[in-house]
Amino acid sequence: MSIERREQERFSLDLQARISYRHTADDVPPTVDTVAANVSSGGAFLRSDHIFPMASKVKIEFYIHIDDLKKLKFILSLESLKQLTGDHIWVSTSGIVIRQEEHGVGIIFDTDYQLTPMQSPEITNAVNRK
């Protein structure tokens, strides 16, 4: 029988997600569309056949339902929460690759992370076209 050593509760949410990272400072970071198989307030395991370099710094964007955001106890200011509209939002954070498996990657969020609500890509594109 295995002993659970994680401090944060994990949730199996199957969240739409995107990961990007740089090999070098000159690289255009590739963006990999994926699904977060499970997420906690400390990290996530994302399904992907893409190979990510161990210990690489990554940017992760999640498309998340407001109720799931509350479950995960992510750090958002009260003012940010008041400004949220709709039932889903994109949130962005960064982390470090700590595990690579055949069909996924484990990422620990930066210790000083804060998830930041983002506009949906459709809204951002509409604003940029004006």
CATH number, domain of 69, equals 2.40.10
Whether residue 10 is contained in a domain is answered as no
The whole domain housing 58 covers: 15-129
Digits of tens for pLDDT over the chain (130 positions)? 445 455 667 778 888 999 998 776 677 778 999 999 998 878 999 999 999 999 999 999 888 887 777 666 655 666 766 777 777 888 888 999 999 999 999 999 987 655 556 655 554 444 344 4
* The three-state (H, E, C) secondary structure of the chain, written as one string: CCCCCCCCCCECCCEEEEEEECCCCCCCCCEEEEEEEEECCCEEEEECCCCCCCCCEEEEEEEEEHHHHHHHCCCCCHHHHHHCCCCEEEEEEEEEEEEEECCEEEEEECCCCCCEEECCHHHHHHHHHC
Whether residue 1 is contained in a domain is answered as no
Whether residue 9 is contained in a domain is answered as no
Domain count, the chain: 1
Whether residue 48 is contained in a domain is answered as yes
Whether residue 61 is contained in a domain is answered as yes
